[in-house]
Structure 1
Amino acid sequence: MSNDSDNQRLSPLQREEYVEQHHLFAVLGERMKENMPAQEVLAAVREEVLATTKLPMAIDFLLSELKHTGAFADGMRRLGHYFTPFQCYVMSEAENDKRQFDLRVALEVLAKEAEYRASEATRQGLFIYQLEVLCRNRLGYDQGLDAIAADPSYTSEWAEWIFTVRRQIGLVDLADLLYVRSEFALERNQHLQQSGSPVPILFGIQEGRIAWANRRKDPLLLFAAMHRHLGYPAVPRPANADPEERLLPTLARRVEQMNARIQLLEEEQRGGIDLERFYVKPPAEDAAGDST
């Protein structure tokens, strides 16, 4: 079985980075419920996180992007050495006005993932969590699984299998996709043990048993069984809140975007917009890139 003792480290960053990332996303989510502007929250968290991590430099860059665009996702993508493709995808879906994906739920999702990475995380648990995020929140499987496969936490064997899941999900039962790549399936088929498994084994006996027991069932039951028996992290669920309250984060983002546009109009009236700041790479990004 492919395990986490290989040469590739499970998480691309040090543990303290994920501890501080968890703090960032958790505080953002909590204070947005209080209708605090995201820029003020970021500036406050910038002073709270450890200066020995790379997160303060990342926050400086995100603040700059937020002032210009009023969004997080584009800035996170430009810091691809620090934020994973899955983190960027979750944030971009939350900021997509066509999606019914609450930004506060997205921040809880990212906080929970960072917390799991800071603990004794496994690739099996990380994948199950990320896949459940897509399922529960009805996010796009194509782009979502592409983002998961691009996560540097996964080996090439994992990435290849995730692309297989992307092609077959909806056509093949999810539990079957997990089961056939488990040690439990290998144990049940003795002839595979004698001839050698034709495909890499990615899941253990327990994951295989749970997948076998949940064949032809709702995938959410499979995830729930993984939580109960293996302690894999559960995906945060949206609370039953007032529908009008869900509009507040969207309205706050739009206000910030309008403020950014008004600033550009004011600069144009004063004699023109300084375009150099949009083309010259910000020092914060250079510093973060050199340090990682």
Structure 2
Amino acid sequence: MPRMTNMLEQAEYIEQGHLFQLLRERLADEMPMQELLRQARYELLATTKLPIAIDYLLTELKHSGLMSPAMYKLDHYFTPFQSYLIAQAEEETGQFTIAAALQVLEAEAKYRSGDGSSPQGLFFYHFEVLCRSRLNYDKGLTAISADPMYDMPWKKWILMLRAQIGLVETADLLFLASEDYRDRMIEAGESVEGKGPFLFGVREGKIAFGNRRQDPLFLFAAMQRHLGYPPVPRIQVLDENPDMIPQLSRRIERLEMRIKIMEEEKRGGLDITKFYEKHKDQMPDLDL
């Protein structure tokens, strides 16, 4: 998988956030992605590398109709996780839409451009995106590990998490990689040699320990408040048949009326003149 080796300048992330926001907002107008990218290109700073990247995306869109192949090739500019999200959104199956991917990428780029971004916050944001969007953990965590925000201990730990997830509770794995666990080992007189790496702080460790055997959503909510990473967008399942319930109600009413008519007819007491009386104002006059 392509790997970025260096972080981009702050201006690049600012413009990326602006691009993803423009695409997300204008996508609601059902305009083709090529036209959206072509328009957005002239609204970005020419001093950044993003307009050049957009030109490459446009070329790929014309040939294959997809953006993700070009993003994977531009591995010096787009992170593997960014490319992975777009690739998942371009799949014909699944609930992860291009609008959801753009919303995730917009928030991520704006978080990176701020002064409060951290490896811990970025990891939890990425990991929560995988969980809430029900994306593939193996491919997703592999892409996350290649992010330039993470040094070698982080990369190794994320790949270890990829192998352990589903076998060991996530909160336990986070706790074992925290300074809180290290301090408890030292206080108990035990050696920490061969343990770690201790990538999370004391408070993150306490949050993870307190959320063991609990719903992971509680863990994410606490970490989001503590680390200040962007809230992860919730997937909204669209109702393909919004009028189904009213239609069913009307059908049930008609069936009930038919049953009443059949019951009256069976008893020999059906008088259809009352229907004429009830609807006589709606009946047209016929001149015979």
C-alpha distance in structure 2 between counterparts of 1:227 and 1:35, whole Å: 33
Larger RCO: 1 or 2 (CA < 8 Å, sep 6+): 1
Deviations 1:127-161 (A, max 9, x none): 00000010001000000011011112211100100
C-alpha distance in structure 2 between counterparts of 1:13 and 1:193, whole Å: 44
For the aligned residue pairs, the C-alpha RMSD in angstroms reads 2.0
1:13-24 correspondence runs (5 A): 13-24=8-19
Divergent runs of 4+, >6 A: none
Deviations 1:173-195 (A, max 9, x none): 10111101101111222257774
Paired residue type of 2:90: E
Does the CA-based 8 Å contact 1:11-1:117 persist in structure 2?
no
Q: 1:64 to 1:222 in 2, by over 3 A?
A: same
Q: Which residue of 1 aligns with 2:200?
A: 203
1:115-130 correspondence runs (5 A): 115-119=110-114, 120-130=116-126
Does the CA-based 8 Å contact 1:10-1:154 persist in structure 2?
no
Aligned residues: 237
Q: Which residue of 1 aligns with 2:216?
A: 219
Paired residue type of 1:182: S
Does the CA-based 8 Å contact 2:68-2:84 persist in structure 1?
yes
Q: Which residue of 1 aligns with 2:151?
A: 155
* 1:228 Cα deviation after fit: 2.2
C-alpha distance in structure 1 between counterparts of 2:103 and 2:236, whole Å: 12
Q: Percent identity?
A: 53
Instruction: Give the TM-score of the pair, scaled to structure 2.
Output: 0.78
Q: 1:241 to 1:114 in 2, by over 3 A?
A: same
Q: Which residue of 1 aligns with 2:172?
A: 176
Structure 1 residue 72 corresponds to structure 2 residue 67:
yes
Identify unmatched segments of 5+ residues in structure 2. Answer: 243-288
Deviations 1:245-284 (A, max 9, x none): 9xxxxxxxxxxxxxxxxxxxxxxxxxxxxxxxxxxxxxxx
Q: 1:117 to 1:37 in 2, by over 3 A?
A: same
Q: State the structure with more CA Rg.
A: 2
Deviations 1:187-228 (A, max 9, x none): 222257774442221000111011011101121211011122
Q: Which residue of 1 aligns with 2:41?
A: 46
C-alpha distance in structure 1 between counterparts of 2:191 and 2:232, whole Å: 39
C-alpha distance in structure 2 between counterparts of 1:41 and 1:232, whole Å: 28
* 1:242 Cα deviation after fit: 4.5
Q: 1:79 to 1:244 in 2, by over 3 A?
A: farther
* 1:23 Cα deviation after fit: 0.8
C-alpha distance in structure 1 between counterparts of 2:222 and 2:193, whole Å: 26
Structure 1 residue 135 corresponds to structure 2 residue 131:
yes
One of 84, 108, 111 as aligned partner of 2:106: 111
- Secondary structure at the counterpart of residue 71 of structure 1: coil
Structure 1 residue 31 corresponds to structure 2 residue 43:
no
Does the CA-based 8 Å contact 2:132-2:235 persist in structure 1?
no
Higher alpha-carbon deviation: 182-191 or 205-214: 182-191
* 1:101 Cα deviation after fit: 0.8
Q: 1:10 to 1:63 in 2, by over 3 A?
A: closer
Does the CA-based 8 Å contact 2:182-2:192 persist in structure 1?
no
Q: 1:192 to 1:67 in 2, by over 3 A?
A: farther
- Secondary structure at the counterpart of residue 42 of structure 2: helix
